[in-house]
Amino acid sequence: MTTIVAFLLVLGFLIFIHEMGHYLAARHVGVQVQAFSIGFPPKLIGKQIGETEYRLSWIPVGGYVQLYGQNMHDEDPDNPRNYAAKSILQRIYILVAGPAMNLLVALLFMPLVYWMGVDSPGYLFSSPVIHQIRPATLAAELGVQPGDEILSINGQEASDWRTVSELTSALPPDSPLTLELYRNGAFLPVTGVYQTGEMGWVPRIPPVVGTLLENSAAQESGIVPGDRIMRINDQLIQDWNEISPMVQALQQHRDSAGGDAALQPLRVEVERDGEQFRVGVTPSFDPESGRYLLGMTLEMKVLSFSFGEAVQRGVGRLLYLVGATFSFLGQLISGQGSLDDVGGPLRIGKVIGEAAESGWTELFFLTAIISLQLGIFNLLPIPALDGGHILLLLVEKFKGSPLSAVLRERTQMVGFSVLLALMLFVTYNDLLQLFFKLPQ
């Protein structure tokens, strides 16, 4: 029920925004709007207000604004309220307004996500203790060692890894660099010259449990979110990334030993509310990855940004997604991509439902992404889409005279056929991926 309601609300909102763009632009240039529909026919309910009938239709995967004169049978270039009487630029303005509204929604929602707060690894809020040093990096050249704690960078306090990242990313190339470190109970100043790129240190990630998979080995053992993993079979755990390799090594050794040893659970020492105790955990084997799993993830915390930084990060994220979208389209055209990666209504509904259950931030993030994709998709030069209509108008502008009714009609028929075939394919693909297991 949550999935269905969330799907209808999100998609209905985005369709409304899209069609409202066409509606407002048409009204702005004086074109009569005969109908405004959320959903495709058949009509469910409708109400006439002035010259426009506002409709709610049965098929909730789209919508439309019916303009006087946009169909070939009611074109009247002599009527100033007719779509055909408007200039090519005015008609393009009406067509672009719908996708532009979707892009505007994405531009508003994505910064809102960062302002509300996004889930980020919990270690970003922990003391900046170094776990490893990559060879041939600036940190290695400066003599920084694993276990060092970064206290300040160029005199500015570094209270956590988030601050360290902000301070180092703001350093200009070839600038003086002074680190104050804490090592083995002593304060140690380190100086050098910052170049470019990463410093070369790997943060120590506290082995604190975030979430547990349902019916996982960790959950059945009694481990709960917030527990800190201290030891596994009496071997000290200092970093989250030490857990999985140790589990693999211990379990593989036990399996090779065979007998009762292979059946004994691992002894996991955890710390909870200042108290330490042991639990027995029997890892489950995942045949797909070929690994033994405990079924737990690292700790995540909500990271919020100031309004200015939220706008900067939100816009940057959208630009990245725009580039990724056109890269994927290029791969499809060149034959390197797969339509299996294109989600239809069923898969979109599923991810919307999952986002709604996760919280408002996830739902707003997904809404921004879908709105961005709708805006881009509708601007593609495919007949029957806004971009296809725009392409025909540009051809008409270049030609210097209107295109024939026969050509426009056939072009629209081809476009609708392509869109219908694509919709049927992605829906079929959704059914296979969501409800059936495809053979490997």
Which residues are known catalytic residues?
Answer: 19
Whole-angstrom Cα distance, residue 28 to residue 20? 12
Segment holding 93, helix H or strand E: helix 88-116
| DSSP annotation string for 95-137 | HHHHHHHHHHHHHHHHHHHHHH-EEEEGGGGS--BEEEE-TTS
Other Cβ atoms closer than 10 A to 357: 12
Biggest alpha carbon–alpha carbon distance for the chain? 92
| Half-sphere CA count of 139, side-chain side, radius 13 A | 24
Backbone phi, psi, residue 333, to 5°: -65, -40
Q: List beta partners, residue 46.
A: 55
Other Cβ atoms closer than 10 A to 396: 15
> In terms of C-beta density within 10 A (0-12 exposed, 13-18 middle, 19 or more buried), how is residue 173 classed?
exposed
Whole-angstrom Cα distance, residue 149 to residue 181? 5
User: Which residue has tokens 């069923």?
Assistant: 346
